[in-house]
Amino acid sequence: MDGTPFRQDQPQVRPGFQVQPQFGVTYTTQLPPSQFLPPPPPAAEPMLQTMPTSELQNQPVSGSLVPDMTTVRTQMHYQPGQQQQDKANSQNKSQEHSQPSSGLTPGFSNTPGVPHSHSHSSSGGTSSLYPATPAPMTPMTPATPAEGSGIVPQLQNIVSTVNLGCKLDLKKIALHARNAEYNPKRFAAVIMRIRDPRTTALIFSSGKMVCTGAKSEDQSRLAARKYARVVQKLGFPCKFLDFKIQNMVGSCDVKFPIRLEGLVLTHAQFSSYEPELFPGLIYRMVKPRIVLLIFVSGKVVLTGAKVREEIYEAFETIYPILKGFRKTS
Amino acid sequence: MSSASVCTQCGSNNIQLDPHFCLEQQICTDCGFVLEEGSFQNDPTRAFQSQQSQIALPLKYRQHNNFREHVSKARRDGALRVEEISAMLRVTSDVMVEEAKTLFTQAFNLKVLNKAKREKKRVLPGCVVYIVCRQHDWPILLSDMWDLLQCRDSVFYSVYKVILAELDITITVPEIETVVPSVIQKCGFTFDLSDEQMKAVTQIVCLAKNTWITCGRRYDPIIIASVFLVWKAEDYAKRKKTSIPKFCRQIKFGTQVLPMVRSRVQEFEGLFLKLVSEIPWVETGQIDKKNIVCYLSDILRYEKTLLAGKYGDSDLESDDEERELQEKILPPSMTNRKPKSDVRDTDSMTSKVSVAVSYSTELDENDIPDSELHKYIRSTKEVMMVEDAQKSAQEYEEENPLKRKDSSSSRKTRKRKISDVENTP
């Protein structure tokens, strides 16, 4: 395979979504915080086409954190309440992989406002490999540090579905696959597991598959492709159609105790708190449509998102509310 | 049905309409001749009314059977059940009972609950009574209702949430101090608590509320733990060796709440140790968790001053997290943080490493390297061994058709996992 582009693990940014960077907010805590980076030159050629496959394969992918652009994120602050367009097909990504260099390169992947010369059809199941051209975004302007929480929720679980495009014999899969379990009396699907990324898949006889346990969008896609390839190796004419992320779960810690009884009194229409049944408060945010589990220890779990920006926006919306219930009255 | 004016038999004019069951007949009163009887085809009351998509029954039938106000058996039984539950809870107010019945009628007609399982419909009267009691600020808990109804907590809560959402009702959880007398009565202790002891129990419960112990926790174990400490402090010399399990055995549901009561007692003792260190005339060197109850009266008397000493210099934004955790009063879930295991650290590391993934609909070798792929696919030898094992297992089952331990065949009622409530972060 020559010239096949590979997309690096990047946070998804929906076209049209306005982002503003903020100092002090990084996605990867292992790296030192990067400063505001200038946008790359416009009309950049898609570097993936010129990049030989061998260079991609020689890149370190495990163990070490190489300070290249693949793991460097620009500091971004997602303003809550901004209108977001519905995310198109997952293939419509706006970032691309640039040629790796020895030092820190500009955050090509997360930089908004980068025009792309190529286009990509948004329908699922096409053979085009490049993500679609995104809508131009507003240029990054630094926001004041006091506006943001300074805390970034970490993704803990991603649930995705894909259509393998053919009927499957589950008994044959359970017989020939080492990592599969199948008990038709209990559940009408094969449960398959792989070690890297550590995920679990439910494979149904209709050819549909559910993949759970990944920590990022691309890890979920990679894991789903691995499962599909295993099934293909067992003799089925599998494809990889209509991959879609159905749910994302994130969690974070605000580092201060929260008075849940006060919160349920002031936000009764959104909150549900029954200590007899569950120790956390269930907050159903309307915009974005996210469910938050808020605990007295300050830990917050966010779930129900289709894209990670919804999780970030929901947390930025709830953080000032939680700060109001920080101490005892 | 056309009305005849003259009898064709005798020529009499005395024609009368006789409602013979559900069919009207024209009868001559002189000779008794039936001139005309109602026809199903001609009777307008039997015409199919497409607007209402119902076949209208004859007027007499409807009047006799009170058709419009017909109440189903399930609804009647539910209304009776509402009255029974109200009587069990000693709801003497007729207004509250009528409100409960009205709410039951509204909830019964909800489309969501129409298709619900019978198990959920059975708990509907209990949910309704609970909602009405809470609307009138009764100190009643959810756990009281599902103990009374002998139902699963998840089933009760699901119906409860549906009613609140569909009928737009807001119900708040009662304050713990209002529930203390009812919980003590429910426990059925073998001893009586004096007024001073009740006051001390209420004070301990309020102290727990101010120090994060009640947040996110069930009320029963906190109140039972408070009673245990007050009872122990009353006659420490005799009762110092009484263990918590022995104390809980006298309670009806003591074994269920024992783990929670034990952890609450430990949290109370830890809190008292922190507070007693602020009392100037107490030598902290000789005090431990076993004899801290001896100083309970002093702690409760000077509670506000002692708490102010702990909260006065509180600065939760301080950098010294260890000092914060040890000296300040924080929720137990923040102070009892378990160290993260190594497995989680490696997972978090791998999640941050870059991942190369293809967007093609066609699968190829680059999706998974062959070295990894072979780990997940059995060799032909292994497949043969598995097939042989499956055949032999099948033959054994056919020869010995005994009871099989299969999860699909046996349904165990799911018991409420009390420990799950405590193990959440």
Summarised one tens digit per residue, pLDDT across range A259-284 is 998 999 999 889 999 898 899 999 99
Instruction: Tell me whether residues B316 and A327 touch, CB distance under 8 A.
Output: yes
Q: What is the per-residue pLDDT for A293?
A: 97
Verify cis geometry, omega within 30 degrees of 0, for the bond prior to A288. Answer: yes
Instruction: Tell me whether residues B351 and A59 touch, CB distance under 8 A.
Output: no
Q: What is the per-residue pLDDT for A312?
A: 95
Q: Which two tokens mark B330?
A: 């924080």
In chain B, the percentage of residues whose pLDDT exceeds 70 is 75
Residue type, A11: P
What would the mean pLDDT of B337-361 be, rounded to a whole number? 61
CA of A195 vs chain B CAs: smallest distance (Å): 9
Please answer whether residues A67 and A31 qualify as being in contact, where contact means their C-beta atoms are separated by less than 8 angstroms.
yes
Which of B169, B359, B367 best probes binding to A when mutated, by most A CB atoms within 10 angstroms? B359
Please answer whether residues A218 and B338 qualify as being in contact, where contact means their C-beta atoms are separated by less than 8 angstroms.
no
A161 pLDDT higher than 90: yes
Which residues 347-366 of B are in CB contact (within 8 Å) with A?
347-364, 366
Q: What is the per-residue pLDDT for A6?
A: 42
Q: Helix-strand-coil percent breakdown of chain A, rounded to 5?
A: 15, 20, 60
Instruction: Tell me whether residues B172 and A234 touch, CB distance under 8 A.
Output: no
Round to whole Å and give the CA distance between A115 and A135: 8
Residue type, A322: L
Please, what is the angle between helix B195-210 and helix B219-234, to 10°? 130
* Range list of β-strands (E), B34-84: 34-37, 48-49, 54-55
Instruction: Tell me whether residues A225 and B368 touch, CB distance under 8 A.
Output: yes
| Phi and psi at residue A241, to the nearest 5° | -110, 145
pLDDT tens digit sequence for B88-138: 998 888 999 999 999 999 998 888 888 788 888 899 999 999 999 999 999
Burial B141-168 (b: 16+ CB within 10 A, else e): bbbbbbeebebbbebbbebbebbeeeee
Round to whole Å and give the CA distance between B124 and B126: 5
Round to whole Å and give the CA distance between B377 and A173: 9
Please answer whether residues B47 and B24 qualify as being in contact, where contact means their C-beta atoms are separated by less than 8 angstroms.
no
Compute the C-alpha angle A270/A311/A40, nearest 5°: 150
CA of A6 vs chain B CAs: smallest distance (Å): 5
Instruction: Tell me whether residues B356 and A297 touch, CB distance under 8 A.
Output: no
* Cα dihedral B19/B24/B25/B26 (nearest 10): 90
* Partners of residue A118 in chain B, C-beta under 8 Å: none
Higher pLDDT, B323 or B271: B271
For A261, name the nearest residue in chain B, comparing CA atoms only. Answer: B215
CA of A118 vs chain B CAs: smallest distance (Å): 15
Q: What is the per-residue pLDDT for A83?
A: 42
Average pLDDT over chain A reads 71
Instruction: Tell me whether residues A296 and B216 touch, CB distance under 8 A.
Output: yes
Say which residues have a Cβ less than 8 Å from residue A249's Cβ, sequence separation at least 6.
Answer: A155, A156, A157, A158, A301, A302, A303, A305
Which residues 137-156 of B are in CB contact (within 8 Å) with A?
141-143, 153
CA of A204 vs chain B CAs: smallest distance (Å): 18
Residue type, A61: V
Please answer whether residues A177 and B378 qualify as being in contact, where contact means their C-beta atoms are separated by less than 8 angstroms.
yes
Beta bridge mates, A154: A251
DSSP classification of residue B102: H
Q: What is the per-residue pLDDT for A173?
A: 94
Please answer whether residues A12 and A76 qualify as being in contact, where contact means their C-beta atoms are separated by less than 8 angstroms.
no
Q: Which of A178-192, B58-72, B234-248, B341-355 has the lowest mean pLDDT?
A: B341-355
Q: Give the residue among B277, B259, B279, B278 at the shortest CA–CA distance from B267.
A: B259
Instruction: Tell me whether residues B352 and A8 touch, CB distance under 8 A.
Output: no
Per DSSP, the residues of A226-253 read HHHHHHHHTT-----EEEEEEEEEEEEE
Q: Give the residue among A304, A256, A254 at the shortest CA–CA distance from A282.
A: A304
Higher pLDDT, B220 or B1: B220
Q: What is the per-residue pLDDT for B314?
A: 46
Round to whole Å and give the CA distance between A242 and A165: 9
Backbone torsion region of residue A106, taken as left when φ is above 0, otherwise alpha when ψ lies between -120 and 50, otherwise beta? beta
Instruction: Tell me whether residues A186 and B408 touch, CB distance under 8 A.
Output: yes
Which domains does chain A show, CATH number per domain?
160-245 (3.30.310.10), 254-325 (3.30.310.10)
Please answer whether residues A40 and A96 qualify as being in contact, where contact means their C-beta atoms are separated by less than 8 angstroms.
no
N-term to C-term CA, chain B: 79
Instruction: Tell me whether residues A326 and B316 touch, CB distance under 8 A.
Output: yes
Instruction: Tell me whether residues B363 and A274 touch, CB distance under 8 A.
Output: no
* Range list of β-strands (E), chain A: 154-163, 180-181, 190-194, 199-203, 208-214, 241-253, 271-272, 281-285, 290-294, 299-305
Beta bridge mates, A181: A191
Backbone torsion region of residue B32, taken as left when φ is above 0, otherwise alpha when ψ lies between -120 and 50, otherwise beta? left
Q: Which two tokens mark A42?
A: 């416009």
ipTM: 0.72
DSSP classification of residue B368: S
Please answer whether residues B331 and A328 qualify as being in contact, where contact means their C-beta atoms are separated by less than 8 angstroms.
no
CA of A89 vs chain B CAs: smallest distance (Å): 11
* Cα dihedral B48/B50/B51/B52 (nearest 10): 60
Which among A131, A226, A295 has CB closest to B425? Answer: A295
CA of B96 vs chain A CAs: smallest distance (Å): 24
Residue type, B61: Y
| Phi and psi at residue A212, to the nearest 5° | -130, 155
Instruction: Tell me whether residues A225 and B362 touch, CB distance under 8 A.
Output: no
B393 interface with A at CB cutoff 8 Å: no
Round to whole Å and give the CA distance between A279 and A268: 17
Instruction: Tell me whether residues B383 and A272 touch, CB distance under 8 A.
Output: no
Q: Give the 3-state secondary structure of residue B377.
A: strand
Where do we find the tokens 């060799």? B379
Where do we find the tokens 């426990």? B187
Higher pLDDT, B72 or B112: B112
3-state secondary structure A151-214: CCCEEEEEEEEEECCCCCCHHHHHHHECCEECCCCCCCCEEEEECCCCEEEEECCCCEEEEEEE
Q: Which two tokens mark B76?
A: 């009647």
Q: Helix-strand-coil percent breakdown of chain B, rounded to 5?
A: 55, 5, 40
| Phi and psi at residue B382, to the nearest 5° | -65, -40
Say which residues have a Cβ less than 8 Å from residue B230's Cβ, sequence separation at least 6.
Answer: B193, B197, B200, B201, B204, B296
Higher pLDDT, A222 or B42: A222
Q: Where does B235-369 have alpha helices with state H?
A: 236-239, 244-248, 254-276, 296-301, 303-311, 321-327, 332-335, 342-352
What would the mean pLDDT of B172-196 be, rounded to a whole number? 89
Q: What is the per-residue pLDDT for A246?
A: 97
What's the number of CA atoms in the CB half-sphere (13 Å) around residue A223?
31
Q: What is the per-residue pLDDT for B112?
A: 85
Helical (H) or strand (E) element with B19 = strand B15-20
B112 interface with A at CB cutoff 8 Å: no
Q: Give the residue among A223, A120, A119 at the shortest CA–CA distance from A162.
A: A223
B171 pLDDT higher than 80: yes
Which among A61, A215, A238 has CB closest to B354? Answer: A61
Instruction: Tell me whether residues A260 and B408 touch, CB distance under 8 A.
Output: no
Q: Which two tokens mark B31?
A: 């000779």
Instruction: Specify which of A84-93, A121-130, B13-22 reaches the highest per-range mean pLDDT.
Output: B13-22
Q: Which two tokens mark B210?
A: 């101010």
Q: Which two tokens mark A211?
A: 């993949």
pTM value is 0.67
Higher pLDDT, B43 or B155: B155
* Partners of residue A4 in chain B, C-beta under 8 Å: 358, 360, 366
B412: pLDDT confidence band, cut at 50, 70 and 90?
low
DSSP classification of residue A296: T
Instruction: Tell me whether residues A232 and B350 touch, CB distance under 8 A.
Output: no
A105 pLDDT higher than 50: no
Longest dimension (CA), chain B: 122
B331 pLDDT higher than 60: yes
pLDDT tens digit sequence for A10-63: 444 444 444 444 444 444 444 444 444 455 555 444 444 444 444 444 444 444
- The CA distances from residue A136 to A16, A83, A125, in Å, are 7, 15, 26
What would the mean pLDDT of B363-376 be, rounded to a whole number? 83
Please answer whether residues A197 and A222 qualify as being in contact, where contact means their C-beta atoms are separated by less than 8 angstroms.
yes
B155 pLDDT higher than 80: yes
What would the mean pLDDT of B312-320 be, rounded to a whole number? 50
CA of A108 vs chain B CAs: smallest distance (Å): 14
Average pLDDT over chain B reads 80
